[in-house]
Structure 1
Amino acid sequence: MHAPAHPDTAHAIERWLDQHRITEVECLIPDMAGQARGKIVPRHKYRPAEGLRLPMAVLEMTVTGAYPEEDFTPVADPDMRLLPDPAALRLVPWAKEPTAQIIHDCVRFDGTPVELSPRNVLRRIVAEYEREGFKPIVAPEIEFYLVQIEPDEDIPLKPPVGRTQRTEAGMQSFSIDAVNEYGDIFDVIYDWCEAQGLQLDTLIHEMGTAQMEVNLDHGEPLALADQVFLFKRTVREAAIRHGMYATFMAKPMQGQPGSAMHIHQSVIDLASGRNAFSNPDGSPSPAFFHFIGGLQTYLPAAMPFFAPYINSYRRLSRYTAAPINLSWGYDNRTCGLRVPNAPPEARRVENRLAGVDANPYLVIAASLACGLLGIRQRLQPTEPLDGSAYEQPHQLPRHLDDAVDRLMRCEPLAELFGAHFIRTYGAIKAAEYAQYFDVISPWERRYLLLNV
């Protein structure tokens, strides 16, 4: 049977489209890589109550557009239905004609959710929190580089030219003037984000050359994952229109720091409405320590969500401002898990593991899943670290192949995410690794061609 969108929801979307005189609708879903897939539909042909169709196999594509050797969707290549989420309805501010973008949910024709949809995975983890009487709250921090346009992928990336007609010299952490070098593009980004209701908090210049960081206001996980998904799209578009690229690669340039997506996390107790990480007297609660214990225990197995590509592991090396282990500490940025100084009602845990190349839906889902396992299993963390975690041993997988093996062996994560999803995701990562491994790098030609 068909499960149409709720009539009131459909009518509200129709009214919004009419109110804004929309001529075209971009119907979007995030795929496994966090890319926007879907269809563009003329307004007069878009029926919110009916949704539209898309092959289910889109959700098992690799980042290169290929597929794993094994089929994880039916061999008949059937369609799934895309139903609009009215909470994810926005204008496309850069379009010439009035255009809407709507993030859709992936469902079967009987109305059940498609388990391979990253958005549905995040919903599944949030529902597990609700089952325990909790509501998670997150706030992402997003780092990225601005670089010169270079169509030839064999040529290394370079910083872009700013308003002074020069490229940046050296590291310019927190420099206001260095940000203002690209003031025109950030004016556009802020305007476009405001038009889409993306809740930007602060903008800073990060450690790398023309590396920026934007923080988002805290909120519910699905809404924040949607905002990260749309923010990436917005920044790429603004950069191209200003004659440069914005890249969310984890490690785009040799000799420069990598780009992260730090996730601040707290948990609300639904019965009391208070932060579950704090006792009534303001001290840290058992749930706070169990949450950290869960992150320390299960993040190594969840690594393919936080570092999903070969390039991701170039960022995770000693003395590069990126974590190499899962030590935790109070206001200690060398740790993979940092607890910022904050009043009891804002007590939270910052997970610094993820690269910005990760899918925001899966990163948030994975981090929350690890913390939830810690709460359920009453796991205890190590003692907080006062010194430098960079001096501690490596505790994380060093490459994608090892990370996928660990994920495949982790039954608790498979139970939370769904075994079929985990097997599919692992096969996608294995296919991407195989494709990369077939490429001979310039380093190999330079040092091995005539020397071995």
Structure 2
Amino acid sequence: MREINWNCKKKFGFKDEEEVLKTVFDPDSNIEFIRIIFPDILGRRMDFSTPVNELERVFKEGKGFDGSSVEGFMRIEESDLVIKPDPKTFRVIPWEYQGFNEKTRWQEAIMSGDIFTPEGNPYDGDSRYVLKNALTLAKKEFGIDDIKIGPELEFFLFPKKNTAEPLDDGGYFFGGLHGEIRKEIQLLLKKMGIDSEYDHHEVANGQHEIDLKYLSALEMADVSMLFKYVVKKVARMHGLYATFMPKPLNGQNGSGMHVHQSIWRKGKNLFFSSNSPYHLSQKARHYTAGLMEHSQEISAVFCQWINSYKRLIKGYEAPVYIAWGQRNRSAYIRVPEYQPGKEHSTRIELRSPDPACNLYLAFATMVMAGLKGMREKYDLADPVEENIYAMSNAKQKRLHIKTLPPNLTKSLDYMKKS
């Protein structure tokens, strides 16, 4: 992979189709292809590319495709769908692609796309549309104009695909173990307008974490899918294999995606209260209670693979019990400790999701569960600040602490009854 010389005057942060077209048709841009991406029902990245000279038509008409060939979309007898790129997601990819001939090189840009029916209506099975609907409901019903999301995305690096041999024997915060790969990933993301907050080696051998700076929910879903693409690309260029599989190694910690979240109106964090316990407002308490009340039935969205439940077991810092606390990392939800003067940082941290989920559906589900808690004014249980792993069954029962589903089959049973 060879980084490019930046000839484009603008590489990200576009507002409309006109601005995008002006950039790609600039003779100095050197962009040859536009890659348009979207998730299937499992959250896997689907994409197609179009030459730059076709982009104006694709903006106007979209690009038709066979929806029956995409997992979870359409039946074969009604399979036609149309994808249209969202110009606000346009980003120039900061490396060159190379063909079989080393001299054949080209440059691309990338956008997220929305799915429509042939009649021009949004397609209900489009995960991005599902998230948009959840955010629209939050605005319409509660006046929430922003829901900020900050995921902690963990992944493993292996020396090659289909091997269970870790790349290193490092642990939490170990220095010098492939940290240069994390830096390379972050530098490329920054050139695409995607900021990170920090990176480090995680607990398990060969496990890494890069935390992205929080963004609005829809943009974070788009960015997180790009993040996974860049991580895998950089690893491959180093002859390595990156995986977001929840539990690739038995006997070691799995990869989670702890999701920090807060709701906002007119620039004000609605989760903050200056005189409430844990500095959580009543809205925050209702929202958190919604996530806890529906935790069992929404587990299949956050943890959608059989392998996901190999991570959700005692002893590996993964949540098993449905409780909340401040410093308690055995709980389902954690409330990071308030720091004076940082009201904007008041948030909750949902700890059960893993990075192999459909990010759009996961974020939408979190929002909808939280909104239901606010709508119906659910009461939030008392916090639990002791290690629930070590707590007796009798005490768990006395405190009304339930457990997450132990496997995907049970999760789906809860979902069907929801």
TM-score normalised by structure 2 residue count: 0.85
Distance in 2, matches of 1:196 and 1:54, equals 28
Return the alpha-carbon distance in structure 1 between the equivalents of residues 322 and 366 of structure 2. 13
8 Å Cα contact 1:59-1:117 kept in structure 2:
no
Structure 1 unaligned segments of length 5 or more: list them.
1-7, 62-71, 161-166, 411-452
Paired with 2:335 and 2:274, the residues of 1 have a C-alpha distance of 19
Q: Greater strand percent: which structure? A: 2
Aligned to 1:377: 376
Aligned to 2:84: 83
Look up the equivalent residue of 1:42 and give its one-letter code. P
Distance 1:365 1:148 in 2: 35
Residue 338 (structure 1) aligns with: 334
- Matching residue's letter, 2:90: L
Counterpart amino acid of residue 395 in structure 1: T
Query: 2:16 aligned with 1:15, yes or no?
Result: no
SS at match of 1:186: helix
Are 1:57 and 1:73, in contact at CA under 8 Å, matched by a contact in 2? yes
Does 2:282 match 1:286? yes
- Distance across 1 between alignment mates of 2:322 and 2:65: 40
Contact 1:292 1:380 in 2 (8 A): no
**Deviation at residue 193 of structure 1 after TM alignment:** 0.7
Give the 5 Å matches for 1:249-398: 249-270=245-266, 273-279=267-273, 281=275, 283-343=279-339, 344-391=343-390, 395-398=403-406
Question: Deviations along 1:283-331, whole A, 9 cap, x unmatched?
Answer: 4321111111101101210011111011000000011110001210012
Matches within 5 A, 1:5-404: 9-19=16-26, 20-46=29-55, 47=57, 48-61=59-72, 73-96=74-97, 97-131=106-140, 132-134=142-144, 135-150=146-161, 153=162, 156-160=163-167, 167-168=168-169, 171-175=170-174, 177=175, 180-270=176-266, 273-279=267-273, 281=275, 283-343=279-339, 344-391=343-390, 395-404=403-412
Size of the aligned set, in residue pairs, is 376
User: Which residue in the other structure is 2:12 paired with?
Assistant: none
CA distance in 1, matches of 2:309, 2:122: 33
Q: 1:328 to 1:148 in 2, by over 3 A?
A: same
Secondary structure of the residue that 2:215 maps to in structure 1?
Answer: coil
Between the aligned partners of 1:59 and 1:280, the Cα distance in structure 2 is 49
- Specify the code of the residue in structure 2 equivalent to 1:296: M
Secondary structure of 2:369's counterpart equals helix
Are positions 1:409 and 2:405 aligned together? no
Counterpart Cα distance in 2 of 1:297 and 1:306: 15
Range with greater deviation from structure 2 (394-403 or 223-232): 394-403
Q: 1:106 to 1:158 in 2, by over 3 A?
A: same
Report the AA paired with residue 90 of structure 1: R
- CA shift in 2, pair 1:391/1:233, >3 Å: same
Output the aligned Cα RMSD: 1.9
Give, in whole Å, the separation in 2 of the partners of 1:381 and 1:42: 53
Counterpart amino acid of residue 301 in structure 1: E
Q: Which runs of 5 or more residues in structure 2 are unaligned?
A: 1-14, 98-105, 397-401
- Give 1:201 shift: 1.1
Percent identity (aligned): 28
SS at match of 2:60: coil
**In structure 1, how many angstroms separate the alpha carbons of the residues matched to 2:74 and 2:234?**
36
Q: Distance in 1 between matches of 2:190 and 2:242?
A: 19
Give 1:74 shift: 4.6
CA distance in 1, matches of 2:361, 2:412: 15
What letter corresponds to residue 51 of structure 1 in structure 2? Answer: G
> Deviation string for 1:246-277 (max 9, x for gaps)?
1100001112110001100111134xx32112
Q: Is the 8 A contact 1:53 1:81 kept in 2?
A: yes
Conserved? CA contact 1:259–1:356, under 8 Å: yes
| 1:280 positional shift | 5.9
The whole-number CA distance in structure 1 between the counterparts of 2:270 and 2:387 is: 29
Measured in 1, the distance between the counterparts of 2:124 and 2:113 equals 14
8 Å contact kept, 1:55–1:77: no
| CA deviation vs aligned residue, 1:167-213 (integer Å, no higher than 9, x gap) | 32xx52112x2xx3314423321222112212211101110012111
Q: Conserved in 1, the CA contact under 8 Å of 2:260 and 2:347?
A: yes
TM-score between the two structures when normalised by the length of structure 1 = 0.79
Distance 1:192 1:36 in 2: 19
Instruction: Write the distance in 1 (CA, Å) between the matches of 2:285 and 2:390.
Output: 23
